[in-house]
Structure 1
Amino acid sequence: MRLKSIKLAGFKSFVDPTTVHFPGNMCAVVGPNGCGKSNIIDAVRWVMGESSAKTLRGESMTDVIFNGTTSRQPVSQASIELMFDNTQGKVAGEFAAYNEISVRRVVTRQAQSEYYLNGAKCRRRDITDLFLGTGLGPRSYAIIEQGVVSRLIESKPEELRVFIEEAAGISKYKERRRETESRMRRTTENLERLTDLRDELQRNLSHLDRQARAAEKYAELKAEERTVQSELFAIQWRQLSTSRGEVAGEIGALDVKREAARAEVTHTMSEIESSRTEQSAASDAFNAAQEQFYGIGGEVTRVEQALRFAQERRGELQRDLEQTRSSLEQTRQDLETDRQRLSGWQEELERSEPALTELSASSRLASEALTAADSAVQAWSQNWDGFNERAREPSQTAEVQQSRIAYLEQVLSKLQERLQQQQSEWESLSSTPTDATTSPLAKKIEQASLAMAEREAGLVELKEDLAGSHAAIEQARRQQDDVRSAIQEARGHMASLTALQEAASDDRERASLSDWIETESLHSDGTVYASLEVEAGWEGAIEQVLGEALSAQLLSEVDVRGLPGVEALPSGAFVVDNTIESPAEVLGTLAAHVKGPARVMSWLQAVLVAENLDAAQRLCRDLTAGQSVVTPDGHWLGPGWHRRRSGADTAAGMIARQAQVDSLKEQLDKARAEADQVEKTISELIKSRVELEKQASQVQQAQQAAVNERAEWIAEQRATATKVEQQLQRRNRLKAEIEDTEKQYELEQSHLGEARQLLSASLDQMEADRIERERLQTERASVTEALTQKRDASREASAALMRGELQSQNLQAQVATLKQSISRMETQLRDLESRETELTGTLPIGDDPDAENKARLAELLEQRVAAEAELNSQRARVSDVEGKLRDLDTLRMNQEQAAQEIQSDIERFRLQEAETAVRLETLSEEIAKRDAVPQEIAAALPEEASEAEWQTKVDRAAARINRLGPINLAAIDEHAKASERKQYLDAQNSDLEAALETLRSAIRKIDKETRQRFKDTFDQINTGFAELFPRVFGGGTACLEMTGDDLLDTGVAIFARPPGKKNSTIHLLSGGEKAMTAIALVFSIFQLNPAPFCMLDEVDAPLDDANVGRYARMVREMAEKVQFVFITHNKITMEAADQLMGVTMQEPGVSRLVTVDVEEAAQLAAS
């Protein structure tokens, strides 16, 4: 696997689409500083999933998008695509069959990143998984840029371990271990929840067993109770039927009384209309007299106000004149006082100037003395800083040597422990066992893994289907409960409305008329109100016009004029034929707002419509014979008459109630259909759930068997495949390690002696510095005290000068203020003198200026007395007429109240009759629910059977049921279901425990393999590092060392000694030495697990020419196996490249690429 090309578009300075090809294994990117070379490496790091903007030299992810220049606009997105050659099959998994693999990342201004693998959209994790174990990644050892060298060498042990893990290829194992641990946590949580469910279910089973036995006894007693209850209902039904006939007789008698009361109300209403005409004339005369009286009174008020205003105005002018003269005298006195004060303050200001000059000279002398004292302190401070600088070096040296001694003692202790462990391990190693063949086992393991994956996927899918099935059943049952509630509510509402409709029409008349129609073999189409469709808002008008005709029966196929058997037509009956053709619709009539039988429509065409009473009264003047006009609120007018239906009319609201009844019938039909469909759906869902549970159980059993079989094969394979190789390799390594450890121990002991000598010399110098420090501190006290005294003296002189200046400024401000005050008062004095002259001329002259208004007032008072007498006369007339009208209103109200009481009694009896009918229907339904007929049960009962006796039987049966206590009627089914669920949960518990143990075994095996791989890789890299380091430096030694005992989390430390040096820590190396050490380490990793390519960004920058030559030769050697892309400014490194790619920035802010093949260029130059 190698990198073929990089496609950049809109990324940082590469705004134009640019393709960077890498034809060989030694490609150098060159160019001046700031031209965008490092952006190529940033692009590779970014497309591999880098999520840190700081790592990409930005503050946010959108910073990688080209942001524009002075001549170019910003772009909206950045795109990078890496093209890999996979002909060698380095990438495993589903992409192993592809010869080319493309990885692309796109980011927009909204910071939304998208990833693509071979053109298909994917997740960032898919990109990371693709490169796991290959050595590639956003922060892998394959990409070394500016600053990474020092960070690699100076990284913490746990950070350096990551590079070893990537080289060992165990990063994917760690990822699997994390996933396995996550699964274990979820499995443990599920197991705990399952245990709680099983415990709770076991407790419920005990209760359900007792409840099931009680439910069986309850069923027997309940059947007995139902029989006695049905007989009680039949007795009640028989009594209610008798009571219903008695109530019908009471209603007939009250109807006669109601008609008589209505006639009395009509007579009283005609007398009230006459009285109201008389009241209108009296009110007009009273209003005229009242208007005249109030007009005279208003004129009197106006004249009185004019008199009061003139008097108040004269008093106000006199007060203003007196106040002005007083202010004039006071202003003259204040002006004289301010002139005297101004003269005194000017003299005091002249006397203060000499004293102020003397204070200024004293302050200047004190300031000069303070400056001299401050200079002395500064001189001492410089001496003190110089001393501290000299004394810091011995102290630092002592601290460094103390740390070094502690470190060396720790190193010696670790070396001693390591030597003992190595010797003990060498002695404990036994002979090598024979090798075994693992190929057949590997094939079986692969087959078992495939079977496990397929069954796991099937099991997950089945569990998801089961969860969805449970949720669907619960949802359907809730829907079923809602539909049943809606049906019960609609039935109750419809029964109430039907009873009111029937109460609005006489039941007896309707029954006798139905018998007559049946006797005469006629056909009825129902009532008129049931056949009408009325426009909203016009129901009251229809009820007003049709009245009793709403309850009339529609007869079809017969003409009322030739009606047979008319002599036997019941009293009060109303029939209408429906034989004429439908008349044409006439706009402006009541028929335009109704749809119904043709005969009724012909009646309504003679009734005009008006929006309100005023419009109706205007239309009434132009009506022809037979015409009338009606309003939506029920006012019906004709030539010489006006009628408005009483609110107590039983026909009121019949049309609206009928519409509600029809709507409720439709709702009931829909609800019943919906209830049937929901019941069917629940049954199908339950069948589907049972089948799914059966399938899940079978798949789970097969999965567990496959898991156990695979675990046995894996254990056998690993036990036979690794034992021989591990022990042989370990014995060879231990021998070399023991020799290295002994040499290292001797070297560290010599370093420890040197450090102790340097520490002793530093401590002697520190004692001499302590004596010098005490002398300087004594000197500081004296110069500081002198400075404090001079500072206090300077501060007092400055304060005295400030007080003098402040006093002078106050005097100057007071002089200026007095001058402004004197000027203001002079102006005020002139204004007051002018005001005095104006007021003197305004006051009126004469004895009585209001004589004319007083005479007019006396005349108006006489006129008001006469008008008041006329007003009282008209008020008495109006009072007499209103008294008569009140008497008539009282009589009308009493008559209407009497009629209303009769109507209320009728309504009460009708409601009682409707309630009786509803109760009869309810009792019939209750008996029907018990599969019986009330007439049959009543006939079978004795005549003397009483409701109290049978109620006692019902109570006795109920008491026997109550003695059973609370009964769970579903206990039998629930007990069976709970037992079945208990078995299912027990099986799940066993499966989860087995799965948990499998996961634990998998983690143990992963840990074992990870330890071995890490140890082997560490040893190989350490060996390669020890070999490459002398080649890079021309000598010296280097090694890696683990910082802990646990191979799963131990850190890794670097120890390096260039030739001729005895440094104790890697941090003491120079920048160039650190770079060379990092190169040796990275190349040793590449020797073990070479990444597909390696990118080096100015790694040779800190190296001299000799080391650059070694670096270039090593890169050239490694390029035989690894593809290198390096950025450099060094000519020696450039010479080693096969391909040169120049990055230029001729246009400011925009990078472009120029590619040169070195061999072709050399051939061209030679020719």
Structure 2
Amino acid sequence: MRLKTIQLAGFKSFVDPTTVSFPSNMSAVVGPNGCGKSNVIDAVRWVMGESSAKTLRGESMSDVIFNGTTNRQPVGQASIELVFDNSDGGIGGAYGAYAEISVRRQVIREGGSDYFLNGSKCRRRDITDLFLGTGLGPRSYAIIEQGMISRLIESKPEELRVFIEEAAGISKYKERRRETENRMRRTLENLERLTDLRDELERQLAHLKRQAQAAERYREYKAEDRELKSQLLALQWREQKAASTSTETAVAELEVLQERHRAELAKVASGIESVRVAHADATDQFNEVQAEYYSIGGEVTRVEQALRFEQERREGVTQDLAQTEASLSQAQGHLTADRDRLQQWRTELASLEPQLIQFRDDSASGAESLSRAEEAMVAWQTQWDAFNERAAGPTKTSEVQQSRIVYLEQVLGRLQERIARLEHEREQIKDDDTQTDIEALETRIAEAESRVSDREQSVLDHTASITHCRESIESARQEQDQLRQRLQQSKGQQSSLVALQEAATAEGESARARAWLTEHSITARGSVFESLKVADGWAPAVEQVLGDSLTGVCVDGATAVGLGKLEQLPTGACLVDSAVTVAPRSGTLAELVEGAGALAATLNTIFPAPTLAAALEQLAELAPGESVITPDGHWLGLGWVRLRSGADVTTGMIERRQRLEDLSGDIARDQAALDEVEGRLRALGVQRTESESALSLVQQELKQAVREQADLAAERKSSLAAIDQTRERQRRLESDIAEATAQFESEQRALGESRALLADALDHMERDALERDELQQQRETHRSTLQSARDRARDARDAVHRTDMQAQGLKTQIQTVADAINRLEQQVAQLSSRRGELVAQLPEGDDPDAALKSELEALLAQRVTSESALTAARQQVAEHEHALREAEQEKVAVEHRLQGVHGEIESKRLAQAELRVRIENNERQLRELDAIPAEVAQALPDEASESEWQVKVERVSAKISRLGPINLAAIEECGRASERKEYLDAQNEDLESALATLESAIRKIDKETRSRFRDTFDQVNAGFSELFPRVFGGGTASLEMTGDDLLDTGVAIMARPPGKKNSTIHLLSGGEKAMTAIALVFSIFQLNPAPFCMLDEVDAPLDDANVGRYARLVKEMSEAVQFIFITHNKITMEAADRLMGVTMHEPGVSRLVTVDIDEAAQLAAS
């Protein structure tokens, strides 16, 4: 398959309809920057399903529509159509039979995007599926645009894996695996929902069974619970009544005690008041004595403080005088020492002045010598730099020519190897009998296609059969559900009617009559109503007439029983002789009743009337003893009327019997129909199983036939390609051998020139070496002189600096000592003055504090007297306080006792109120239970206790609680739930089987994916390792897996160009990365060539030598792959068979100009 044409209209700058044809395998698109060349590649990527506007160099999908220029209006839609030549069957499947395939995409500015396949509208998914496994796609390795080379080579291992997958053709397997996983996920979700339903249904079944068993126990427990609760309430009522009486007596006694405590409290309060008055008088006396005592104490304190102050003042003056004299002596000593040091330092400073002058002269001389040595060194350096600049030329020439010689020798070696390999291959390539093999393959392909067609038809037939079976099964199951529901309803009605009939015959005189017959060993023939068959609508009238006779018992020879036995017959019993028959009278009620027997005599005197009005009219015609009755049971006779009474035991017995007969027939018919449906379901299930087994077998045969057909088609394609490749290869080998030979001779000439240039450069390098040695000796002499001058200058500077610093230090010390002497002289004067002042402050006389001491002694005597009076007053106050506290404590005790009694009274009253509320509540509850408290309590034993009855109630309540909710219809619901459970179990088995099938399919897909990925990786790696040295002229490269699992492992590139030791691809230059990416992409193409390859300025970062290799490689691969490349490089243009120029004569509008290189060459030659 190959790309035939691209038709553009309204797409980006191609506003006018433009058709780009690709008749050859080497088509180049050229033109200036910005003219729209890359829009051709964007168009191909867009029509193949690209959905990212950013990838198409836009912000939204509407950006691909021509947006107008200054001279043109915008257009409303863009359309791209790719036309493929599929004559070789490169695209298989449903479109494999088409020789030409058209893929078109159009978009309108409002946002709608449509795809068309051979003119028919389709989905984007259909376009993607069409190219699966071909190497084509919106992001495949077949379209390499600007910047994609660097992104490809620097992509993450997971992203690089995608290219290997596409080359392996496993993208379709991944798509199938994704679809299978989706189906598995949906199946698992359905299985989870089904499991939840089944679990819930199981719980419901267990619940229903428990309900059915618990219903009867519930009624028994409920009655017992009601009785026990009544008795428990009566017990509580009795005890509460007794407690209420006891509480009233206790309250009366507590009120008497409360009055007694109140009188005691009043007495204690009176005594406290008299004690409080005496305490107040004692307190006033104590305050007066205490005030006098505090006044004397204040005077004592004042005199003592005056004495202490005077003593402290004298001690302070004495201490200050001693300190002043010591400081004065110390300052005079320091002053003498400082004057001696000042004289010594002035002498030393005078001796340093001559030395400093001499050192400064030596320093100036050293600086001058250093300057001369540095100037000589600079002059030598200038001479050395000039020599190096002159000698660099031959050295560089030598290095360049040596590298060139090594390179040329390697090139010559590779050329020799290539020529030998090409000649060897030319000798080995020969035509074979491939054409005969192809004819045999065609026959086998036709047979395989016939088998596939047959199997596909079988699959359709079996699928239709399975679908029909499933629809029939579903219809039968619905019919089965309806029949079961109707059957259950009929049986329920039958059970209810049978219960009513049994209740009617089991009560009253009929039951006693049957018991009497059994006792006397008389055989009963059944009830009277069972033998009657009444016309429709007249059952109420017959029941009205016969009344209790309907429940009578039929016996043989009722009148022959004997008088003795008949007298023992229960009162009200009815026996009818079944052997007696009476002919019905025409026009009477007897005609409407069959099987009346002896009772027909009664019915013969009664005439039927359709309505009550008709009965009234007919009444006048009746003879004595005759009567008339309506269908509703209104019975009229001469002078009397009996209307239909309310429901009793006999009401509806005849209708119920007739209804029971009808129900028995319905149940029999429904049961037969249900058995037939269930048999049909079993047959349909067997038929479906057989059809599914047959379908599975046919599907396996279809898969095998499709695989055989695909393998044969691939083998045919490979054989055809092998013939074409062999013939084309023979032609190319001749051309390659001639080209390699010419290149070998050219490289030999270049090698000779490089060797001559190398010899000349080596001669110049020998002469420069002698001059370099002489200059290096001069450099050592200058360096030694310069170092000596620097040492002398440095020593002189150090001496000047050292002496100057010493002189400065002495000057600083002299100034510091002089300042200290001035301060010390001032301090000595101040200390002398201070000493005189302190001597004047010292007191005169032997005892200066005699007056204060005398005053203090008198005050101390007064304080002792006052303290004795204060102690006596405090003692009296303490005694009164003690008496007051005792009285207060007694009052608190009485109040506490009073409060206790009051609280107890309130507690008793509250308890009594609660008892009244409880008694009323219990009486109300007992009334609700229709019980009288006194009667129920009287019936209980005296030793009965509330706790005992409470345990009984709780035990019964627990039994009721354990029963849970009660459902009387549990049996019927349980049956329906069981049927539903069986249906869900069958569905669960089907889903589990489908899940196992899907898991098996995924395992097969994973196995095939791993196998294909491993094989493809190894082949691409081998091709990459072979192409890389060809592209670079040496070096090594390989691909490595980053993980162990072949399903998701990444792929990393390791590349080492010639002479380099790069460990990863990221260390390569831009050009090296581009060449590496080219080698990788072309190695993928060698393994699984895509129908075409589009290259957008891939050669931009390459130099001319690498562009030449790139062009030759593309030319070689164009034998099997169609190349469409955009370029600005003239070398690449020369390799093309057809040039297509994109121009913009009109700003913003791209136009196409096409030139066939061979035709242009012929025209130029002519």
Q: Normalised by the size of structure 1, how large is the TM-score?
A: 0.39
Pair member with larger Rg: 2
Q: Normalised by the size of structure 2, how large is the TM-score?
A: 0.39
